[in-house]
Chain A
Amino acid sequence: MAELHVFGEKRWMRVVLIGVAVLLLVVMLVAPLVLLFAEAFARGIAAYGASLMKSETLSAIGLTLKIAAIVVPINAAFGVVAAWGIAKFQFPGKSLLVSLIDLPISISPVVAGLVFVLIFGARGWLGPTLSEHGIKVIFAAPGMILATLFVTVAFVARQLIPLMEQQGREEEEAAIVLGASGFQTFWRVTLPNIRWGLVYGILLCNARAMGEFGAVAVVSGQIRGMTMTMPLQILALYQDYDSVGAFAVASLLALLAVVTLAVRRFLEWRYREELGYVGSL
């Protein structure tokens, strides 16, 4: 990229501005990331591996994967369905519906957990009735899945709605006029057009589902080896003064974040035309 300095500032001014910006980025963002891996490997690679192999940590990793395996496909399907209805049709109340889908993103994670405790908790509206029938939602996996669904519900829809709006509906209408069924049209025409936006939305949804802390902390009860996810396990190990253990789990999630960002950059670079607008979350 060519230098753009119409503005007329002096060269030393530019050097100072670049220096301060780089210093800010290194102190605020690079240092925490480097420290994570430095701390995780502080006692060597063997200690790192051993700390990840502890049964409590393994069960936290397992539960995190299980929750993501349930939540991500549901929210991906919801995102596609919602984006089809919202992007391809005009109807009253459309912007209200979009704002409501976005609402969980702007709500405090703790409040996201709280709303489900109010309904399903031991003293909630449905909690006592459900527990009479032996159904446990809060302090168990179902509540954690619900809270994660809530927190990540907008991620795929948010990527697809602007993308599908921008692509219009001429191609789909042509397919329908030529006799294709609705599902054929979606499968052969729409899906190939939105696939990279969908992949990116799924990646973001997955990163958040695996990394969610506040909402899950409120509904899980944090029972060791039972209702702990990876982010909750980080806090538990940290409170046990098991620094290598806590940072080892943290390093796995940090790796997931770095991979998510790298894939995002790659998709933006490779499929710029196809992706059109790429929202940032």
Chain B
Amino acid sequence: MSIAVAAAPRRRNALPGFGPTIGLTVFVVCVLILIPVAGLFVKATDLSVAQALALLSSPRVLAAFRLSFGLALLAAAVDGIAGLLIAWVLVRYDFPLRRYFDAIIDLPFALPTAVAGIALTALYADNGWFGAPLARLGINVAFTPLGIFVALLFIGLPYAVRTVQPVLADLERDVEEAALTLGAHPRQIFSRVIFPQLLPAILTGIGLAFARGVGEYGSVIFIAGNMPGISEILPLLIVIRLQQYDYAGAALIAATMLVGSLVILLALNLFAGRWVRRHG
């Protein structure tokens, strides 16, 4: 087989324009993306190792790392569960206005983050539609870390739904049918047959929601209250460093944030890969 492929005459691509289009693409990618992003890592090395460690281990920076990574992970996980439920209902059942509910899933993709931020803040403020009843129960959402969680939940939801939805729609139904005929309980069918096939997609959705949530700025700063050490997210800390003309400090925090979220994404991917190998 491989010999046949190698022996076949290589078909020449008759289309013109490869040189100019790829040349221009590589040029734009280098000038607009690669060099500026590389500059971030170069700038971070302006600091000595001791200075870098002192900055990264200062209580304010550590608190921001814990807050941003912790809440982004938590919100992504909750989105993963909510997304599974919503995708399930949209794919498997028919109900009034289903198409409209399906369409509105993409709202957080299309709505500018500042618009989402101001809407969620007004909604969850102590005099807001949801904030007022919650405040009477003693739960304050806006201007607390809980508010950041609510904003990240909003931003991440479409990633969680849209990664699971197509996989769920393509699932082979005959396995479920067979399990049902053999007398399996719906709970068993879900946990033994359906869930293992969905888990990789769920994890991908959680990963995307997390990556987006860690760096999210616009919607969060409206609702967070931005108290240093309590409700101050990493991106805001970067902005504050920049305003103080501490370019190297800002670059170091940004580079650490990028590497940190890359490591978590990689771990999620590895786990999903192992899961796929083990469960076929």
Contacts and interface: CB of A to CB of B under 8 A. Distances in A.
B193 to A, nearest CB: 9
A27 interface: yes
A257 B111 contact: yes
B88 A17 contact: yes
A125 B35 CA distance: 12
A39 interface: yes
A168 to B, nearest CB: 11
Interface string B90-124: 11111100000101111111111111101110110
24 contacts: A3-B93, A4-B91, A7-B180, A21-B90, A24-B85, A31-B123, A32-B154, A33-B119, A81-B25, A100-B33, A104-B33, A107-B37, A115-B37, A117-B247, A118-B39, A121-B242, A123-B245, A204-B110, A211-B115, A214-B113, A230-B112, A250-B114, A254-B115, A265-B103
Contacts of B64: none
User: Chain A: interface secondary structure?
Assistant: helix
Contact of B215 (A97, A109, A153, A173): A109
A263 to B, nearest CB: 10
Interface string A204-230: 100100111110011000000000001
B35 to A, nearest CB: 8
A72 to B, nearest CB: 15
A196 interface: no
Nearest to A279: B162
Chain A interface extent, by class: 35 or more
B62 to A, nearest CB: 19
Interface stretch (A49-57, A85-93, A128-136): A85-93
B242 A150 contact: no
Contact of B258 (A3, A111, A257): A111
Interface in B221-280: 221-222, 235-236, 238-239, 242, 245, 247, 250-251, 254, 257-258
User: Chain B: interface secondary structure?
Assistant: helix
A114 B115 contact: no
Interface string B70-96: 000000000000100110111111110
B211 A84 contact: no
Contacts of A95: none
Contact of B95 (A18, A29, A146): A18
Nearest to A186: B17
Given A4-B92, A20-B85, A115-B37, A109 B258 contact: no
Contacts of B173: 4, 6
A210 B235 contact: no
A176 B86 contact: no
Given A101-B29, A121-B247, A213-B114, 15 more contacts: A6-B177, A18-B93, A30-B104, A35-B128, A36-B115, A90-B13, A103-B33, A117-B242, A118-B36, A153-B33, A176-B15, A231-B115, A235-B114, A257-B111, A261-B104
A125 B106 CA distance: 40
Contact of B22 (A8, A85, A114): A85
B218 A253 contact: no
A101 to B, nearest CB: 6
Contacts of B236: 110
A39 B116 CA distance: 13
A7 B190 contact: yes
B8 interface: no
Given A7-B176, A31-B129, A118-B247, A264 B114 contact: no
Nearest to B157: A28
A6 B101 CA distance: 23
A160 to B, nearest CB: 12
Interface residues of B, number: 89
A5 interface: yes
Contacts of A261: 103-104, 106-107, 110
A33 B115 CA distance: 9
A58 to B, nearest CB: 18
Interface in A1-44: 1-10, 13-14, 17-18, 20-22, 24-25, 27-33, 35-36, 39
Most buried by A among B17, B162, B211: B17
A22 B239 CA distance: 38
Most buried by A among B25, B115, B153, B250: B115
Most buried by A among B37, B108, B112: B112
A5 B89 CA distance: 11
B63 interface: no
Contact of B89 (A21, A27, A28, A32): A21
Contacts of A85: 17-18, 21-22, 24-25
B84 to A, nearest CB: 10
